[in-house]
Amino acid sequence: MSLFLVNRYLGEEEDGSISKESRSQALLAKLQQKAKEKQQQSLTEQRQQQLPKEPTQQQRVEKKRKAHKDSGQEFLHPKKKKKKANVHDLDSESHDEPVEQKKKKKKKKKNEEETEEEDVNDGQNPAGGQGDTEQEEAAEAENEKTAAPAGFKVVGGFENRPVQKVHRVLPQWLAQPDVIHRDIKNNLVPISDLSGLCSALVKRLQENGIQHFFPVQAEVIPAIMENMQRGLLIGRGGYKPRDICVSAPTGSGKTLAFVIPVIQMLMERVVCEVRALAVLPTKELAQQVCKVFTSYTEGTALKVVMLAGQRSFAAEQASLAEHRGDRRRSLADIVVATPGRLVDHINKNSGLCLQHLRFLIIDEADRMIDSMHQSWLSQVVKAVYKSGSEPRAMSIFRRTEPTHVTAASLSPPQMPLQKLLFSATLTQNPEKLQQLGLHQPRLFSSVHSDSTHKQDCFHFPQGLTEYYVPCMLSKKPLLLLHFILRMKLRPILCFTNSRETAHRLFLLVQLFGGVTAAEFSSRLSPGERKKKLKEFEQGKIQLLVSTDAAARGIDINGVKCVVNYDAPQYVRTYIHRIGRTARAGKAGLAFTFLLGVQEKRFLQMVVEAGSPGIQKQIVKPENLRSMEARFEVTLQELAKVIKSEKAR
Ligand SMILES: Nc1ncnc2c1ncn2[C@@H]1O[C@H](COP(=O)(O)OP(=O)(O)OP(=O)(O)O)[C@@H](O)[C@H]1O
């Protein structure tokens, strides 16, 4: 039995009498005939396509007939006219003068050539017309050039259109944030107006001199605490609470906006477990936030531990948990950490258990997003959803890693993990924020950005006055000395772009004399840095020359003036640097020294970032003259000091 039946096409006549050869010839002839037909069809199609552009011969004749009628001249059909012209030429040839004859001969020859061309054109002109005027001839010649050779389709008609600008459309949560007032002084809210705060916390606030909440605190604290009625274990209505993003100016009080509600919500906890984790980019910032947490947990059972590498790993480990036999007992409710050290503790299984984590606070969030390549967040999330040692039946509030929201995924009650993001320069780039895996985020912002707004526009502290000082490179140190010694602007926090510049400038000012100065950079140990900051805050140091190590988040009381000795390259750096002054609604001054070549770009950058206005401050050369001689001597001394430093 055959499995397959193959039918072959044998042509229309399935006559076995016809030989194979003649059949194939017949087929070939048929195909050729079809190809010819197709060719002709495509030719007629092309002609038809061009027809609307070119009037038909009949239309042209009609048009001419009408024109001649209007002018009262005799009308001749183009073909007849051509014939007549030829006859006339021949006639005149025999009667004209010899010179004229020559000319006419030449002309005739030319005409003949042209007629030949026309004939060729006629043969190929799809419209089939014969040009009467030179313009028509030119047009037909052009047609000949562009007409497709038979059987080919000419591809074309492409234009160079300008590319349309793509307008950014922000997701609704980013485009329509809960607005925070920028004006602190006129929008203070008495602490008694905020319900839900326990009396111990209110008392602590008052002891720290806080009678009113700043606008950011008045908005964000209730938003974090709105899940409180359900306790820690389930979000409102059984749903996972929304993550919260806060973008508010430098010095607007963002730290207390998360410290207060987190403490309030953890206050009622029964078992000590790590339930809040605050991650900050630097040791100094971790220390600062840890200090605030410690201050407000005083008198409560809550314990705060810092993991930032200030102490040895073993010491940090010991502060996290204690082990009795095979039982582990957590010693920390709130952990404040830098990402590197945190990952170390997670990986080395040092006793840090994050399975009960309720709040993940990401301060200086935009900077933390930039450090996402360290994958600290994915490690934290992994540790949070790690299955515990307790039996499955016991863990009623067992956590599963978040997936798509479905009825099934929502049905078992889960202890929620809520992310709280804070920054003065929070990115509005949804792609970047997406990296944080936010859950139905809610944005609080002092910048109301509609969807068409320029990307990343920020608000500056209201009490801040910005200046730029045009200067020459060689005069920069003198300018700084002029600001401290003549204008008596102190204390000054001065920023340079490198630690070498910071060091030399510090040495120079110290050698010049008349002012107590210090440097703040990675040249110093963490202990030394801490000491310098303290002395600066206490007024023992009048000029602190720093790298960007002190640009972000550092809260130093009483900085009246910030000087950008080196212009910052990025607008975020500028905002954070100048944000070390004019904090908590106070006034402050910011000066930026600009070389001629830097002016245009810098000013444009600052205006685009949303600066309310930066003013020009000119320091006349004669104001610096009296210090110049001393300055020259100091420079020589500086060279010696640096040489000896290098030798060492
Ligand atoms: N309600 C308040 N009343 C009085 N002072 C306050 C209040 N809230 C905060 N402060 C003070 O304001 C200063 C700035 O606060 P904080 O450091 O939290 O600002 P920030 O918004 O985090 O700034 P940055 O963006 O620079 O980190 C601190 O010295 C803080 O003690």
- Please give the full DSSP string across 272-330, using - where no structure is assigned: ----EEEE-SSHHHHHHHHHHHHHHHTTSS--EEEESSSS-HHHHHHHHEEEETTEEEE
Q: Give the model's confidence band at 510: pLDDT under 50 very low, under 70 low, under 90 confident, else very high.
A: very high
Alpha carbon of 309 to ligand 1 centroid (Å): 25
Q: Give residue 141's pLDDT.
A: 52
Task: Answer with the residue of higher pLDDT: 165 or 87.
Answer: 165
Q: Whose CA is nearest to atom 20 of ligand 1?
A: 251
pLDDT for residue 451 is more than 90 = no
Q: Give residue 94's pLDDT.
A: 36
Alpha carbon of 214 to ligand 1 centroid (Å): 9
Q: Give residue 133's pLDDT.
A: 46
Mean pLDDT value of segment 636-644: 94
Q: Give the model's confidence band at 2: pLDDT under 50 very low, under 70 low, under 90 confident, else very high.
A: very low
Alpha carbon of 56 to ligand 1 centroid (Å): 84
Tokens of 605: 């950058």
Scanning the structure block, which residue is given the tokens 């920028």? 182
Alpha carbon of 188 to ligand 1 centroid (Å): 13
Tokens of 586: 């106070």
Q: Give residue 162's pLDDT.
A: 77
How many helices (H) and strands (E) the chain has is answered by 22, 19
Q: CA-to-CA distance for 580 and 588, rounded, in angstroms?
A: 9
Q: Give the model's confidence band at 328: pLDDT under 50 very low, under 70 low, under 90 confident, else very high.
A: confident
Mean pLDDT value of segment 461-472: 95
Q: Whose CA is nearest to atom 1 of ligand 1?
A: 213
End-to-end CA gap in the chain: 100
Q: Whose CA is nearest to atom 30 of ligand 1?
A: 253
Q: Give residue 206's pLDDT.
A: 95
Atom of ligand 1 nearest to the CA of 555: 17
Phi, psi of 517 (to 5 degrees): -125, 160
Alpha carbon of 583 to ligand 1 centroid (Å): 7
Atom of ligand 1 nearest to the CA of 257: 18
pLDDT for residue 410 is more than 80 = no
Q: Are 332 and 293 in contact (CB under 8 A)?
A: no
Q: Give the model's confidence band at 641: pLDDT under 50 very low, under 70 low, under 90 confident, else very high.
A: very high
Best mutation site among 291, 554, 583 for ligand 1, i.e. most ligand atoms within 8 A of its Cβ?
583
Q: Give the model's confidence band at 459: pLDDT under 50 very low, under 70 low, under 90 confident, else very high.
A: confident
Q: Are 585 and 463 in contact (CB under 8 A)?
A: yes
Of the chain, the percentage scoring pLDDT greater than 90 comes to 51
Alpha carbon of 301 to ligand 1 centroid (Å): 25
CA nearest to 304, candidates 322, 291, 315: 291
Q: Whose CA is nearest to atom 10 of ligand 1?
A: 253
Bond prior to 491 in cis (omega within 30° of 0): yes
Q: Which of 186-190, 228-232, 306-310, 603-607 has the lowest mean pLDDT?
A: 228-232
Give how far the C-alpha of residue 109 lies from the chain's centroid of Cα atoms, to the nearest Å. 73
Alpha carbon of 216 to ligand 1 centroid (Å): 10
Atom of ligand 1 nearest to the CA of 252: 21
Q: Give residue 80's pLDDT.
A: 44
Q: Whose CA is nearest to atom 27 of ligand 1?
A: 553
Q: CA-to-CA distance for 466 and 169, rounded, in angstroms?
A: 32
The model's pLDDT over 382-396, given as tens digits with 9 standing for 90+, comes to 999 876 555 444 445
CA nearest to 644, candidates 499, 515, 507: 507
Q: Tell me the residue type at 437.
A: G
Alpha carbon of 252 to ligand 1 centroid (Å): 5
ipTM: 0.99
Q: CA-to-CA distance for 449 and 180, rounded, in angstroms?
A: 12
Tokens of 255: 């730290």
Q: CA-to-CA distance for 577 and 250, rounded, in angstroms?
A: 9
Alpha carbon of 311 to ligand 1 centroid (Å): 27
Tokens of 192: 């008694």
CA nearest to 218, candidates 246, 243, 250, 176: 246
Q: Give residue 88's pLDDT.
A: 39
Atom of ligand 1 nearest to the CA of 424: 25
Determine the 3-state secondary structure of 355 from DSSP: coil
Alpha carbon of 208 to ligand 1 centroid (Å): 12
Tokens of 25: 């010839």
CA nearest to 413, candidates 394, 401, 396: 396
The model's pLDDT over 166-175, given as tens digits with 9 standing for 90+, comes to 776 778 888 8
Alpha carbon of 526 to ligand 1 centroid (Å): 23
Q: Are 320 and 352 in contact (CB under 8 A)?
A: yes
Q: Give residue 412's pLDDT.
A: 61
pLDDT for residue 479 is more than 80 = yes
* Cβ < 6 A, ligand 1 pocket: 210, 212-214, 217, 250-256, 424, 553, 555, 579, 583-584
Mean pLDDT value of segment 325-337: 90
Q: Give residue 158's pLDDT.
A: 72
Alpha carbon of 378 to ligand 1 centroid (Å): 30
Q: Whose CA is nearest to atom 29 of ligand 1?
A: 555
Task: Answer with the residue of higher pLDDT: 328 or 333.
Answer: 333
Phi, psi of 360 (to 5 degrees): -115, 110
Write out the E strands in 180-298: 189-190, 212-213, 244-247, 276-279
Q: Give residue 534's pLDDT.
A: 94
Residues in Cβ contact with 171 at an 8 Å cutoff, skipping those fewer than 6 apart: 430
Q: Whose CA is nearest to atom 16 of ligand 1?
A: 253
Best mutation site among 214, 247, 289, 562 for ligand 1, i.e. most ligand atoms within 8 A of its Cβ?
214
The full DSSP string for 485-499 is: IIS---SEEEE-SSH
Mean pLDDT value of segment 404-419: 70
Atom of ligand 1 nearest to the CA of 579: 26
Q: Give residue 19's pLDDT.
A: 61
Alpha carbon of 607 to ligand 1 centroid (Å): 26
* Integer CA distances (angstroms), 307 to 288, 366, 453, in order: 13, 21, 40
Give how far the C-alpha of residue 133 lies from the chain's centroid of Cα atoms, to the nearest Å. 62
Q: CA-to-CA distance for 536 and 491, rounded, in angstroms?
A: 8
Q: Give the model's confidence band at 99: pLDDT under 50 very low, under 70 low, under 90 confident, else very high.
A: very low
Alpha carbon of 576 to ligand 1 centroid (Å): 14
Mean pLDDT value of segment 313-341: 91
Q: Give residue 97's pLDDT.
A: 42
Atom of ligand 1 nearest to the CA of 255: 18
Q: Which of 104-118, 291-305, 391-405 has the lowest mean pLDDT?
A: 104-118
Q: Which is it for the CA torsion 183, 187, 191, 197, positive or negative?
A: negative
Q: Give the model's confidence band at 353: pLDDT under 50 very low, under 70 low, under 90 confident, else very high.
A: very high
Mean pLDDT value of segment 316-339: 91
Q: Tell me the residue type at 154.
A: V
Q: Are 132 and 78 in contact (CB under 8 A)?
A: yes
* Integer CA distances (angstroms), 186 to 182, 215, 313, 448, in order: 9, 9, 46, 19
Atom of ligand 1 nearest to the CA of 553: 27
Tokens of 169: 């459309």
pLDDT for residue 325 is more than 50 = yes
Determine the 3-state secondary structure of 119 from DSSP: helix
Mean pLDDT value of segment 10-39: 73
Q: CA-to-CA distance for 36 and 28, rounded, in angstroms?
A: 12
pLDDT for residue 352 is more than 50 = yes
Q: Give residue 111's pLDDT.
A: 46
Phi, psi of 10 (to 5 degrees): -110, 15
Give how far the C-alpha of residue 329 lies from the chain's centroid of Cα atoms, to the nearest Å. 44
pTM of the model: 0.72
**Using alpha carbons only, what angle is made at residue 643 by residues 642 and 646, rounded to the nearest 5 degrees?**
85
Atom of ligand 1 nearest to the CA of 552: 26
pLDDT for residue 301 is more than 90 = yes
What is the helix, strand, coil percentage profile of the chain, to 5?
45, 10, 40
DSSP state of 547: -
Q: Give residue 83's pLDDT.
A: 42
Alpha carbon of 298 to ligand 1 centroid (Å): 19
The model's pLDDT over 581-624, given as tens digits with 9 standing for 90+, comes to 999 999 999 999 999 999 999 999 999 988 999 999 999 999 99
Of the chain, the percentage scoring pLDDT greater than 70 comes to 73
Q: Tell me the residue type at 128.
A: G
Scanning the structure block, which residue is given the tokens 């399975």? 355
Q: CA-to-CA distance for 607 and 32, rounded, in angstroms?
A: 74
Q: Whose CA is nearest to atom 25 of ligand 1?
A: 250
* Residue 324 β-bridge partners: 327
Q: Whose CA is nearest to atom 8 of ligand 1?
A: 253
Phi, psi of 581 (to 5 degrees): -120, 175
The model's pLDDT over 355-382, given as tens digits with 9 standing for 90+, comes to 999 999 999 999 998 877 668 999 999 9
The model's pLDDT over 208-244, given as tens digits with 9 standing for 90+, comes to 999 999 999 999 999 999 877 666 665 555 677 899 9
Q: Give residue 155's pLDDT.
A: 74
Tokens of 331: 């010693």
Alpha carbon of 534 to ligand 1 centroid (Å): 17
Best mutation site among 204, 256, 556 for ligand 1, i.e. most ligand atoms within 8 A of its Cβ?
256
Alpha carbon of 205 to ligand 1 centroid (Å): 13
Task: Answer with the residue of higher pLDDT: 66 or 14.
Answer: 66
Helix axes 596-608 and 571-578, enclosed angle (nearest 10): 80
Determine the 3-state secondary structure of 481 from DSSP: helix
Best mutation site among 201, 207, 254 for ligand 1, i.e. most ligand atoms within 8 A of its Cβ?
254
Q: CA-based Rg of the chain, rounded to a whole angstrom?
A: 43
Instruction: Report the chain's mean pLDDT, rounded to a whole number.
Output: 81
The model's pLDDT over 102-157, given as tens digits with 9 standing for 90+, comes to 455 554 444 444 433 333 333 333 333 343 445 555 555 555 555 556 677 777 77
Q: Give the model's confidence band at 522: pLDDT under 50 very low, under 70 low, under 90 confident, else very high.
A: very high
Scanning the structure block, which residue is given the tokens 């974090």? 224
Q: Tell me the residue type at 266.
A: L
pLDDT for residue 545 is more than 70 = yes
pLDDT for residue 310 is more than 70 = yes
Atom of ligand 1 nearest to the CA of 557: 29
Q: Are 353 and 274 in contact (CB under 8 A)?
A: yes
Q: CA-to-CA distance for 465 and 615, rounded, in angstroms?
A: 8
Q: CA-to-CA distance for 513 and 255, rounded, in angstroms?
A: 38
CA nearest to 204, candidates 143, 246, 162, 267: 267
Alpha carbon of 541 to ligand 1 centroid (Å): 22
Atom of ligand 1 nearest to the CA of 585: 12
pLDDT for residue 288 is more than 70 = yes
